[in-house]
Structure 1
Amino acid sequence: MELKISSRSQGCHTLVAVRGEIDLYTAPLLHGELVDMLDDGAARLVVDMSGVEFCDSTGLSVLLSAMERARERGGDLELAAPRSAVVKILEITGLDAVFAVCESADVMEDAIIGAAK
């Protein structure tokens, strides 16, 4: 399955919409995109996971690595609207306690826009 990634910035915040499956084959693409965004100055990444149908340990590793990179630069990475299959793997791995997770990308986007004003 193909992975599609799109983003839009609002100041130092970037909303990243991910669609498809994040696995061993597609994770390098996501990693590259997130690193590029951070290297281009994005401080806070909000990853809209509503279109992610599957995420394996490789995908979780990419998200964790990007979050650590963002935090090293004084920013953060948050997950928005993950599907139940992704929530389950976050819970099983204990990463639900590591990532900030919002149930809706709209709520997260509203917070970004509000913080930018």
Structure 2
Amino acid sequence: MWDSPNPRLTIVRSAEVWNGHDLVMSLIGELDADTAPAVCEATVSVMSNGGRRILVDLSGVTLCDNASLYTLLGVRHALSHAGGELTLISPSEAVRLALLRTGLRELLPMGLRAEGRLTRGNVE
């Protein structure tokens, strides 16, 4: 687990490696303009240790604003430029609504966990 400077968001690093990803990161709590920088810091930490493929579980996100989605988009671009990828899975209702509100659904594609593997999917 990373220490977040904001107690409204917990970032849990899983020891599990999933489908070739270097890290599985679960976000729990509120994802907004105040807490999103902690996600950037965690990503920089992973990248500085050589990690390039990050899977982010969003099932525990209780609040999601537009700024946080644009932050995730920036993280995705940074990883892409470094030869990696960001895969988001299990979006909570708050995340799904924010994706629809911002129109970022196509730019932040979701993966789905299914029978021990990761597949690409759409979020309705």
Identity %: 30
The counterpart of 2:10, out of the listed 1, 4, 14, is: 4
Residue 67 to residue 53, structure 1, CA distance change in 2 (3 Å): same
Q: Deviations over 1:14-65 (max 9, x none)?
A: 1111100011221121211112112221111110000001111221122111
**Number of paired residues?**
110
Counting only pairs closer than 5 Å after superposition, residues 1-117 of structure 1 correspond to structure 2 as 2-8=8-14, 10=17, 13-103=22-112, 106-107=113-114, 110-111=117-118
Alpha-carbon distance, 1:90 to partner: 0.8
Q: Give the TM-score of the pair, scaled to structure 1.
A: 0.81
Indicate if the aligned counterparts of 1:15 and 1:109 stay in contact, CA closer than 8 A.
Answer: no
What SS class does the counterpart of residue 96 from structure 1 fall into?
coil
Q: Note the C-alpha offset of 1:8.
A: 3.0
RMSD across aligned positions (CA): 2.2
The CA distance in 2 between the partners of 1:5 and 1:108, in whole Å, is 25
Q: Which has the higher contact order (CA 8 A, sep 6+)?
A: 1
Structure 1 gaps of 5+ residues are: 113-117
